[in-house]
Each structure stands twice: as structure tokens, then as C-alpha cells.
Amino acid sequence: MGVVKAPYNNNIVSLNVVTATIISRRLHLPRAWTPATHLYHSKRILAPSNISNRNSLEFQTSEKSNSAPLAILPISILLRSLFISNVISKPYLLNPSLSILSFLSQPVKISLLSIDSNPFLRWLVKRLLYNQFCTGENAADVKKTMNQMHKFGFLGVILRYAKETTSDHKTKKSEVPGSPLQQTHTAEKGKCVEIESWRAGTLRTVYMTSNGDKVALKLTGAGPIVTAALATGDLPPKHMLDALDEICLAVRETKAQIIVDAELQRFQKGIARTAVMLMRKYNTEKSPLVTQTYQCYLKNKRSYLWKSLAKASKEGWSIGVKLVRGAYIVTEERSRIHDTKEDTDNAYYGLVRDVLRHNGGSFGGLGKLGNTPFPKSAVLLATHNRNSVMKAHKLHQ
């Protein structure tokens, strides 16, 4: 997975993508907007602005470019992105495509229909889909993709050790894809096998990063011992906390940053508690080492973010805020989510506006917890919604 910062026209756009290639956009020219969008990406504008308390925001500038923003990308990438974007934007194409992919992902006895046995089918799936949404199958592939991104002009990449627990709020049944069902609480010498595997995989990911990069953490990928604690709102066990400390220190060493991803609401209370603990411990500098993700499609997110901001201000640590709409609507309890897309859009932009403006009053007033000022903060806007990006950009004009 990659998150990439692309310098164009005196601003830097951060793209949070699950793809080996990026379609970037110039924000101020309508002719530069392209239909070739990705399933997931985010944009953070770091250009100078007249927003108050500028010192707590990140600002970077670059040389103005006169070339079209897509000119640096190979035509094969543009065509592939255009094709996939058209498919996923049309239900009558997307639904049968997902059915076909679901069928291909199952073990089949007919070698002609097996991705593992049919070299042409494997080549097609990898070139058309895998290379669009994944950075690589191994460390060498990932580094190759990162180098390609840097050549395109992107200044940073977000990597994630892609393992998490899936769950349905109705059945409460959980599963960690790729983990044997019988491998649950097995431990050796007081250590959980799955936590140790997650720790090692995440550290390998960390050491592929450098200054400007970010590492996203899916805490539920550490297995059932961790998810059991998170589901009750508790911190994970000591073995996991030790692993998180090791990861944070390693990220600080590589000069990257950490994003604690939001996940299913069943686990989110424990995840949020863990994220705050890490921010309190490691966000002692102006620029936060750890960022927490806030899902704006949830009805309670404004009040929760207000509490986080107030806590950071009162206790004196900087807060990293990643704002997303949300990605678990199919499996979440529907009553917790805004009733309409318009409500979600309004909630997202409202939080973007108020955090960028440092408008503590809009959150009910930070003064309720000791008349504290707006905390030192850094904001990452994760969205593929054009209007959200343009509105946020306008705030910096």
C-alpha cells in the first residue's frame, strides 16, 4: 500500500492509495481532473495559507510546474486506471466482476480456471488488478514500486502490513484472513505466535520506509488475543504493547510516521484507547509521530474528536488527525452511521473545516476541560471525493 506526496504548483498532495501506481491531480485547474480515480486515496494540502495558528500545521512548497500533472505517468497506467475506474463506478459492471473474482479466489479443480495453474490468467489478474491495488508480493517488489513513485515525484509512501480481522456485527464471528483456524492462543515462552508474526511483519515494513513515509497499523491483524482485548475496550496485552513500543521506536529511527487505522466498531474503542496511549507517549514533538484515524460516517465522531483534542491540549501532546468517511458500512451496525450520504459528506467537511481552522468552539468549546487552547496538530485528509478536496484546498487560499 502506498501513500504518496506529489508536489504540484506550490502545494503537496498526499495520496493514500492501495495501489502500486497513482493518478494525481492538479487541484486548481478543472481541465486537469481525470476520471481515472482509485478506489482509495487521500489528499492533504500543505500549501501556505492564512489559517490561524499556522505554526502547528505542516507547510511545504515546491517549484511551479507548467506540465500537465498526468504527463509523467506511462500511458499503460492511465489506461488501466481509466478502465478500472469505469468498471467500479457502474454497478452493472462491478457486480458481475466481483462475482468472477470471488469465483477465481476459490480453489478449483479445473486448471484452466485456476489462477495458480493457468499462467495467462495469473498474468492477467496480476497486471490488471494486483498491480493496481498492491505495491508488491515481497520486499523487493515493494521497494521497486516505491522507487517508481519517487521517480514520478512523490515524496512519501504509506506502507501497511496488510493483515486484519474481519467481523460481522450480527454474528460476531471474526476471522483473520490467511491465518489457520486452529492457530488461536498458541504461545511459546510466554509469547503469542500471531502477535509475534504481526510484530515481525510490521517491523520489516517499517525498515522499508524513510523520511516522509508513513506506516499504517491494523491492530486486529495481531490475532484473537489482541482482538479479544480490543472488543472489550481494553488495551492489548503486554506482548502487543511491547511490540507497539518497538515499532514506534523503529519508525522514529527511520524518520517516518505512524497511522493507527480505524477498523470495525466492535474493536474501535480499544483501538482508539491504544492510539491515544501511543500519542500521549510519543507525540512529544511539534510534528506528531502517531496519528489516529477518525471515521466521519459515524454519528458520534465529532464529540469523540472533541474529547481527543481537549485531552491533547490539556496534557500537552500533539495530536495527529486522519479524517476518513469510513469503509465498513456493509458489516457495521447501521444505526451508528449517518442516515444519508449527504449527512456523511456534511459531517466530513465540517470536521475538516473546524480542525483546519482550529475552531475549538465548534466542538462544544475546549474550555469545558480547563479553558485549554487548540492543541498542536497535523491533519491528513483521506478521501477520493473531489468536493472535499477542493473545499479543503480553498481553506488554504
3-class secondary structure per residue, the chain:
CEEEEEEECCEEEEEEECCCCCCCCCCCCHHHCCCCCCCCCCCCECCCCCCCCHHHCCCCCCCCCCCCCCCCCCHHHHHHHHHHHHHHCCHHHHHHHHHHHHHHCCCCCCHHHCCCCCHHHHHHHHHHHHHHHCCCCCHHHHHHHHHHHHHHCCCCCEEECCCCCEECCCCCCEECCCCCCCCCCCEECCEEHHHHHHHHHHHHHHCCCCCCCEEEECHHHHCHHHHHHHHCCCCCCHHHHHHHHHHHHHHHHHCCEEEECCCCHHHHHHHHHHHHHHHHHHCCCCCCCEEEEEECCECCHHHHHHHHHHHHHHHCCCEEEEEECCCCCCCCCHHHECCCHHHHHHHHHHHHHHHHCCCHHHHCCHHHHCCCCCCCEEEEECCCCHHHHHHHHHHCC
Higher pLDDT among residues 101 and 21, named by residue: 101
Mean pLDDT of 156-183: 66
What integer pLDDT is reported at residue 65 of this predicted model? 55
Highest mean pLDDT among 12-21, 26-35, 144-153: 144-153
**Half-sphere CA count of 345, side-chain side, radius 13 A:** 10
Q: Is the pLDDT of residue 70 over 60?
A: yes
Q: How confident is the model at residue 175, as a pLDDT?
A: 62
Distance between start and end Cα atoms, the chain: 31
> Who has greater pLDDT, 288 or 37?
288
| Buried-exposed string 184-205: b where 16+ CB fall within 10 A, e elsewhere | eeeeeeeebbbbbbbbeebbeb
Q: In this predicted structure, what is the pLDDT of residue 108?
A: 79
Residue 391 predicted with pLDDT over 50: yes
pLDDT band at 366 (very low <50, low <70, confident <90, very high): low
CA atoms within 13 A on the CB side of 393: 20
For residues 345 and 357, what is the distance between their CA atoms, to the nearest angstrom?
18
pLDDT of residue 159: 92
Residue identified by cell 509521530 is: 289
Average of per-residue pLDDT across 352-363: 79
Confidence of residue 1 (pLDDT cuts 50, 70, 90): very low
Q: How confident is the model at residue 167 (pLDDT cuts 50, 70, 90)?
A: low
- Taking the C-alpha atoms of residue 175 and residue 168, their distance in angstroms, rounded to an integer, is 10
Identify which has the larger pLDDT, 276 or 133: 276
Cell numbers given for 292:
489516529
pLDDT of amino acid 273: 97
The residue type of 1 is M
- Of the ranges 64-78, 282-296, 301-315, which one carries the lowest mean pLDDT score? 64-78
Q: How confident is the model at residue 168 (pLDDT cuts 50, 70, 90)?
A: low
Q: How many residues does the chain have?
A: 397
Given a contact cutoff of 8 angstroms between Cβ atoms, the answer to whether 80 and 130 are in contact is no
Residue-wise pLDDT for 295-334, tens only, equals 999 999 998 998 899 899 989 999 999 999 998 888 888 9
For the ranges 85-89, 156-160, 172-176, 249-253, the lowest mean pLDDT is seen at 172-176
- pTM for this structure? 0.75
pLDDT averaged over the chain?
Answer: 78
Does residue 369 register a pLDDT over 50? no
Q: What pLDDT score was predicted for residue 68?
A: 74
Instruction: Return all residues near 319 (Cβ < 8 A) that are at least 6 apart.
Output: 279, 283, 288, 292, 308, 309, 312, 375, 376, 377, 378
pLDDT of residue 24: 29
Comparing 180 with 209, the larger pLDDT belongs to 209
Q: Tens of pLDDT along 96-144?
A: 999 998 888 888 778 888 888 899 999 999 988 888 888 888 888 998 9
Residue 293 confidence (pLDDT): 97
For 181-201, write each residue's pLDDT tens digit: 444 444 455 689 999 999 999
Q: Are 7 and 59 in contact (CB under 8 A)?
A: no
Query: For residue 44, what pLDDT is reported?
Result: 33
Q: How far is CA 65 from the centre of its chain?
A: 28
Residue 361: other Cβ atoms inside 10 A: 11
